[in-house]
Structure 1
Amino acid sequence: MARFLYKLGLFASRNRKKVLFGSIGVLILVVSLGLGMGVHLNGEMNIPGTKSEEAMEVLKEEFSQGPERGTIQVIFKAPEGQTLESESAQNLIAESLESISQDPEIESVVSPYEGGTISFTREIGYAVITYKNEATKVTEASKEHVLEIVEQVRSKGMQAELGGTVEFSALEIGGASEIIGIIAAFMILAITFTSLLAAGLPILTAVIGLGIGVMSVIIASNFVEMASFSLILAIMLGLAVGIDYGLFIISRFRQNLVEGKGVEESIAHANATAGSAVIFAGLTVIIALAGLSVTGIPFITIMGIAGAFTVLIAVLVSVIVVPALLGMAGERIRPKAKAASAERLQKDHEQSNSWGRFITKYPLPIALAGILLLGAISLPALHMQTGLPDFGSKSTETTERRGYDLIADGFGPGMNGPLAIIIKADGTNDVQAAFAKVAKELGELPNVAMAMPPIPNASGDVAMVTILPGTDPKDEKTTDLVHLIREKAVEFKEKDQVEVMVTGSTAVNIDISEKLNEALPKFAALIVGLALILLMMVFRSILVPIKAVLGYLLTLTATLGLVVFVVQDGHFAELFNIPAAGPVLNFLPILTAGILFGLAMDYEVFLVSRMREEFSHTGNAKGAVLSGLKNSGTVVTAAGLIMIAVFASFIFVEDTMIKSMGLALSFGILFDAFIVRLTIVPAVMTLMGRTAWYLPKWLGRILPNIDVEGESITKNFEEKRKSVIQ
Structure 2
Amino acid sequence: MTELPPGVERPGAEVPPRPGILGSLAGVAFRYRGRVVIAWLIAIAAAVGLSSAFAGDFAADYSAPGSDSQQAQELLNERFPEFAGDTVDVVVRADDVTAPDVRADVGVLLDELSGAPHVARVSDPYDEPGAIAPDGQTLIAQLGLTSDNGADVPEEHSERLLAAAEDAERPGLEIALGGESIMWAEQGEVGSEGIALIAAAIILLITFGSVVAAGLPLLVALGGLGVSAMLTGVIAAVIEVPEWSTALATMLGIALGIDYVLLMVTRFREWRVAGLNTERATVATLDTAGRAVIVAGSTVVISMLGLFAMGLSFMRGAAVVTIVAVLVVMAAATTLFPAVLGYLGHRIERLRLPLGRRRLARTAEGGHVEPSRTWLRWGQLIERHGLLGTIAGVGLLLALAAPFLGARFGFPDAGNEIEEKSVRQAYDMTTEAFGAGANGPLLLAVDLTGMRDERGLSALVESIGETPGVAAVNPPTLNDAGDAAVVTVIPTTGPQDAETEQVVQTLRDDVIPTATSDTGVTAYVGGVTATAIDSTDNIVDRIPILIGGVVLLSMMLLLVAFRSVVIPVTAAVMNLLSVAAAYGVVALALEGGWFGQLIGIDTQTPMPAFIPVLIFAVLFGLSMDYEVFLISRMRESWVRTGNNGRAIIDGLAGTGRVITAAAAIMVAVFAAFVPSDEVFLKVIGVGMAAAIFIDATVVRMLLVPAVMHLFGRANWWLPGTWERRIPQLHVEGRPEVHLPAPKKDLEPVG
Displacement after TM superposition at 1:298 (Å): 1.2
Change (3 A) 1:251 1:115: same
Query: What's the counterpart of residue 81 of structure 2?
Result: 64
Point out the more displaced range, 677-686 or 387-396.
Answer: 387-396
Residues 630-683 of structure 1, C-alpha deviations (whole Å, 9 max, x = no match): 101110111111111100111111111111111111111111111111110001
The 3 A distance-change label for structure 1 pair 40 and 353 is: same
The offset of 1:422, in angstroms, is: 3.6
Could you say which residue in structure 2 is the equivalent of 1:608?
Answer: 631
Distance 1:341 1:687 in 2: 31
Q: Displacement of 1:132 after TM fit? A: 6.5
Give the Cα–Cα distance (whole angstroms) in 2 for the partners of residues 326 and 644 of structure 1: 27
Offset of residue 449 of structure 1: 1.1
SS at match of 2:418: coil
SS of equivalent to 2:727: coil
1:641 aligns with 2:641: no
One-letter code of the match for 1:633? G
Q: How does 1:125-164 map to 2 (within 5 A)?
A: 125-130=139-144, 142-164=157-179
1:354 Cα offset (Å): 2.2
For residues 146 and 467 of structure 2, the distance between their equivalents in structure 1, rounded to whole angstroms, comes to: 38
Structure 2: runs of 5+ lacking an equivalent: 1-17, 743-750
Name the counterpart of 1:33: 50
One-letter code of the match for 1:526? G
Q: 1:251 — aligned with what?
A: 266
Measure, in 2, the Cα distance between the counterparts of 1:176 and 1:537: 41
Alpha-carbon separation, structure 2, partners of 1:141 and 1:493: 44
3-state SS of paired residue (1:125):
strand
Q: 2:138 aligns with which of 124, 138, 142?
A: 124
- More helix as a share of residues: 1
What corresponds to 1:308 in structure 2? 323
Q: Could you tell me how far 1:370 is from its partner in structure 2?
A: 0.9
Question: Contact 1:536/1:542 (CA < 8 Å) preserved in 2?
Answer: yes
Matched residue of 1:572: which SS? helix
Matched, 1:469 2:491: yes
1:188 pairs, out of 194, 203, 218, with 203
Of residues 571, 579, 585 in structure 1, which corresponds to 2:608? 585
1:501 is paired with a residue of what secondary structure? strand
Residue of structure 2 in register with 1:8 after alignment: 25
Q: Which runs of 5+ in 1 are unaligned?
A: none
Distance in 2 separating the partners of 1:54 and 1:340: 67
Per-residue CA deviations over 1:32-53 (Å, capped at 9, x if unaligned) read: 3324545511333233322210
Corresponding pairs, count: 714
> CA, structure 1 residues 689+145, in 2 after alignment: closer, same or farther (shift >3 Å)?
closer
3-state DSSP of counterpart to 1:115:
coil
Pick from 56, 60, 65: which aligns with 1:43?
60
The alpha carbon displacement at 1:383 in A equals 2.7
1:552 Cα deviation (Å)?
Answer: 0.6
Structure-to-structure mapping, 1:280-679, within 5 angstroms: 280-334=295-349, 348=370, 353-424=376-447, 429-432=452-455, 434-457=456-479, 462-488=484-510, 489-492=512-515, 498-568=521-591, 570-679=593-702
- Compute the displacement of 1:247 (Å): 0.7
Measure the CA separation in 2 of the matches of 1:341 and 1:7.
27
State the shift of 1:99 in Å. 4.4
Aligned equivalents of 1:180, 1:707: Cα separation in 2: 38
SS in structure 2 at match of 1:574: helix
Q: How big is the shift at 1:138?
A: 5.3
Mark the CA change 1:55 to 1:153 in structure 2 (over 3 Å): closer, same or farther. closer
Distance 1:341 1:77, change over 3 A: closer
CA distance 1:500–1:46, shift in 2 (3 Å): closer
How far the C-alpha of 1:77 sits from its partner, in A, is: 0.9
Compute the displacement of 1:394 (Å). 1.8
- 1:90 corresponds, among 96, 103, 106, to 103
Q: Which amino acid aligns with 1:48?
A: P
Deviation at 1:149, TM superposition (A): 3.2
Is the contact between residue 463 and residue 515 of structure 2 (CA under 8 Å) also seen in structure 1? no
**Please, which moves more after superposition, 443-452 or 138-147?**
138-147
Deviations, residues 555-584 of structure 1 (Å, cap 9, x unaligned): 111111111111145451210112432111
SS in 2 for 1:389: coil
Please state how far the C-alpha of 1:246 moved relative to its aligned partner.
Answer: 1.1
Closer, same or farther in 2 for the Cα pair 1:576/1:297, shift >3 Å?
Answer: same
The Cα shift of 1:93 comes to 2.4
In structure 1, C-alpha distance between the alignment counterparts of 2:167 and 2:496, rounded to whole Å: 33
Q: Which moved more, 1:145-154 or 1:248-257?
A: 145-154
Q: TM-score, normalised by structure 1?
A: 0.92
Secondary structure of the corresponding residue to residue 467 of structure 1: strand
State the SS of the aligned residue for 2:176: strand
SS of the residue corresponding to residue 585 of structure 1 reads: coil
**Partner SS state of residue 241, structure 2:** coil
Q: Structure 1 residue 716 and structure 2 residue 729: aligned?
A: no
Superposition TM-score, scaled by structure 2 size? 0.89
What SS does the corresponding residue of 1:222 show, helix, strand or coil? Answer: helix
State the AA in 2 paired with 1:521: P
- Deviation, 1:459, is 5.8
3-state SS in 2 of match to 1:221: helix
Write the deviation string for residues 261-311 of structure 1: whole angstroms up to 9, x where unpaired: 111111001011111110111011112112211221111111111111110
Change beyond 3 A, Cα 1:524–1:428: same
Alignment partners' CA distance in 2, 1:421 and 1:106:
22
- SS across alignment from 2:251: helix
How far 1:425 moved relative to its partner?
A: 6.0
* Native 8 Å contact 1:257 1:334 kept in 2: no
The AA in structure 2 aligned to 1:361 is R
2:39 paired residue among 22, 27, 30:
22
Aligned-residue CA RMSD in angstroms?
2.9
CA contact (8 A) 1:613 1:709 kept: yes
What's the CA shift for 1:124? 0.8
The structure-2 alpha-carbon separation of the partners of 1:321 and 1:172, relative to structure 1 and needing over 3 Å to count, comes to farther
Q: Distance in 1 between matches of 2:357 and 2:89?
A: 69
Residue identity matched to 2:283: A
- SS at structure 2 position matched to 1:622: helix
Q: Give the stretch that moved more between structures: 130-139 or 326-335.
A: 130-139
Structure 1 match to 2:70 = 53
Report deviation, 1:463.
4.2
Equivalent AA in structure 2 for residue 680 of structure 1: L
Tell me if 1:219 matches 2:234: yes
Task: After superposing the two structures, state which structure 1 stretch, 161-170 or 493-502, moved more.
Answer: 493-502
Relative to structure 1, is the Cα distance of residues 652 and 224 closer, same or farther in structure 2, using a 3 angstrom cutoff?
same
* Contact persistence 1:47–1:298 (CA under 8 A): no
Asked if 1:210 is matched to 2:232, the reply is no
Residues 171, 655 of structure 1: 8 Å contact kept: no
Deviates more, 1:228-237 or 1:167-176: 167-176
Instruction: Show the 5 A alignment for 1:225-244.
Output: 225-244=240-259
Aligned to 2:14: none
Q: Per-residue deviation at 1:458?
A: 5.1
CA contact (8 A) 2:592 2:602 kept: no
What is the one-letter code of the residue matched to 1:21? I
* 2:247 partner SS: helix
8 A Cα contact 2:190 2:675, kept in partner: no
The match for 2:90 is: 74
Does the 8 A contact of 1:106 with 1:129 survive in 2?
yes
Q: Percent identity?
A: 34
| Contact preservation (8 Å) 1:422, 1:463 | yes
Aligned to 1:266: 281
- The answer as to whether partners of 1:70 and 1:138 remain within 8 angstroms in 2 is no
Does the residue aligned with 2:213 lie in a helix, a strand or coil?
helix
